[in-house]
Structure 1
Amino acid sequence: MIRLAVCDGNKCIQKEIAKVVSASYRQEMKNDIYESLDSLTAEISAGRTYPDLILSDISKDTSASINESKAIRQKCPEIKFIWMSSDPDVPEEIFDTDPIYCLPKPIPLDDLKAALNTALVRCHQEEKDTLILKSRNGIQKIPLADISYLESDKHVIYLHGQNRQWKCYIKLDDIMERFPSYFVRCHQSYALNMAKLRKLTALSAEFTDGRSVPVSRARYKTVKECLLHYYSFR
């Protein structure tokens, strides 16, 4: 389910968008209403929400809206924007936010649906390549390509990326069910991303950044077979 955050203080526009979402995207999209982009930013910063898509008015204070969107994108780069404006002269800076669409107000129904359709396609594609984790700090969306390996310490899982680490409270067996087949258990306490491997031996797996994890004797044959299968289909 794609979460859409609508940021506009106009009640009529809120109802119009909600009506379109309910009629055409009920099974795919859920919309939340915010009076302004500023109020949504506060919710995102506090970890209380994490929308996939933001549909926001930019008419009143363009500079503030652009700055808010950049702050959101810096914290949550996967979030996508669709802008609405009653001003036909949209400033060029708005395109620095990489918007999917810039809609005029009042919003033509066909244009709104076209924008939402495009956003849905992009969101669904990225869902396949993203791990969504709920933690004490809120909701995190982690690109699978950023994860080199997983490490288990009792009921705590550490997801190791090249430049950062994520932490969650779950069993390794359970979290592995949420990963694609190119993530493989190589040890009782480790699983690896085959796309990040540089070298595999019977004792260890070495990654492209120089780090390594142990490979158990019982799992080496399976990991080797999975690795050969992975590269044969690339």
Structure 2
Amino acid sequence: MGKIILYDPEKRLAGLGDSFSAGETADHRTLHTFTSEDQLLFYLEEVDEDVDILIVNLVRQKEKGAGLARMCKNRIHHLKLVLVIDRLEGTEHLFELQPDSLLFFPPDQDDFQRTILRLEQMAQQEYKRCLTLVTKGKIYRIPYQKILYVESRGHQLSVKTWEEEIRAYGKLDDLLKRLPPYFLHCHKSYLINSNYVRQLEMYRIRLEGKEEWIPVSQKYYKIIKNTLLAEAE
């Protein structure tokens, strides 16, 4: 928790270092500063370390900095993004990046510290409600409520959400330990989110928003049935 990356190609934000050693989460923060785009991307690729907050100094670096922020957000979807700008004029295109905060240069120390603390708290709350997966050089935080089911195919897991399918290597039972108790085995190769059960029959189950049936083994049928009946009481 508290991993922060600062992209500051002209070293204009060097004086903000004290802000990272203040606040209630300071002991858990790690800050990595980069002046080179290539070094930052290499760090994300090789170290493969989760990051909570990216701060990009766009002063005299608008296009290049915006492109870097876009690449980082494509790789780490949950990233909290702070953009440091010198003026609002000509920044309309930046809003497609969906920044979590805009700060004017030079940032006020107190405003900067409050911004970091707020984003850290947001990231911490989201982290508690998300499944984190690392796959193909990308890090995904998937909110539990978006997961419909998980299918295991050999050593590969396929996590099905409302919008997409995310694949990663792992074991189904190991994944189950990381999920809330409303995720249940319905088959040795499937986990389902019991909150989204639409129809249960012998040997098969259908989830909300899906027409296809998922197999249910005899071993798990009674467990799922009793769970659904208990929720209905």
TM-score normalized by structure 1? 0.81
Aligned to 2:228: 227
Distance change (3 Å), C-alpha of 1:164 and 1:138: closer
Query: Residue 218 of structure 2 aligns to which amino acid in structure 1?
Result: R
Alpha-carbon separation, structure 2, partners of 1:143 and 1:216: 27
TM-score normalized by structure 2? 0.81
Contact 1:47 1:138 in 2 (8 A): no
Displaced runs of 4 or more, over 6 A: none
Is 2:196 aligned against 1:211? no
Alpha-carbon separation, structure 1, partners of 2:88 and 2:189: 57
Alpha-carbon separation, structure 2, partners of 1:119 and 1:16: 17
Aligned to 1:126: 126
Alpha-carbon separation, structure 1, partners of 2:177 and 2:44: 28
Q: What residue ranges of structure 2 are gaps of 5+ in the alignment? A: none
Per the TM alignment, residue 8 of structure 1 is displaced from its structure 2 partner at its CA by: 0.9
Distance change (3 Å), C-alpha of 1:153 and 1:63: closer
Aligned to 2:20: 21
Distance change (3 Å), C-alpha of 1:62 and 1:35: same
Q: RMSD in angstroms over aligned alpha carbons? A: 2.9
Alpha-carbon separation, structure 1, partners of 2:136 and 2:217: 33
Structure 1 SS opposite 2:202: coil
Distance change (3 Å), C-alpha of 1:14 and 1:50: farther
Distance change (3 Å), C-alpha of 1:37 and 1:197: farther
Distance change (3 Å), C-alpha of 1:165 and 1:36: same
Contact 2:16 2:109 in 1 (8 A): no
Alpha-carbon separation, structure 2, partners of 1:149 and 1:219: 15
Contact 1:6 1:14 in 2 (8 A): no
Alpha-carbon separation, structure 2, partners of 1:137 and 1:9: 24
Is 2:198 aligned against 1:198? yes
Tell me the matched-pair count. 229
Aligned to 2:81: 81
Alpha-carbon separation, structure 2, partners of 1:192 and 1:141: 18
Query: Residue 228 of structure 2 aligns to which amino acid in structure 1?
Result: L
Alpha-carbon separation, structure 2, partners of 1:65 and 1:167: 30
Identity %: 24
